[in-house]
Amino acid sequence: MAKAQKRKVKGGRVTPKGGPPVAATSRTTPSASARYTPPVPKELKVSPWWIPALMFGLLGVGTLVIILNYVELLPTWGFLPDATSNVWLLVGLACILIGIIVATQWR
């Protein structure tokens, strides 16, 4: 049986090479992309003074409301006399949550 002969391929690219031709000895840097967004300068990343003040204030008020609720120094509005109220607990937790959300804006 005869051995099948391999087909000889000339080699090289079928499609043209993309980009401008580059000399073999020179180093080039890639061209700037149109999608590049430069980073924001540090001078523009500074938060106003009231953001950390608001954050610490809300965290403190929320903690204080929860503590005073369990010490039973807050009004119950007639829901449960002489007992802790879930309304004050939710107010305290909401203040803490808003404080955490404000903390994400502090740069």
List, for residues 23-36, the tens digit of each pLDDT value. Answer: 555 556 666 667 88
pTM: 0.57
Is position 36 within any domain? no
Is position 84 within any domain? yes
| Cα separations in angstroms, 7 against 1, 3, 10, 11, 52 | 18, 13, 10, 12, 75
Domain of residue 93, residue span: 46-103
Is position 4 within any domain? no
Is position 82 within any domain? yes
Is position 34 within any domain? no
Residue 21 has pLDDT above 90, yes or no: no
Higher pLDDT, residue 84 or 88: 88
Is position 16 within any domain? no
Is position 52 within any domain? yes
Is position 35 within any domain? no
Q: Number of structural domains, the chain? A: 1
- Average pLDDT over every residue of 75-89: 71
Instruction: Region of 27 please: left (phi>0), alpha (psi -120 to 50) or beta.
Output: beta
| Confidence (pLDDT) at 46 | 86
Question: How many Cα neighbours within 13 Å face the side chain of 45?
Answer: 6
Structure-block tokens of residue 4? 């099948």
Q: Is 59 helix (H, G, I), strand (E, B) or coil?
A: helix
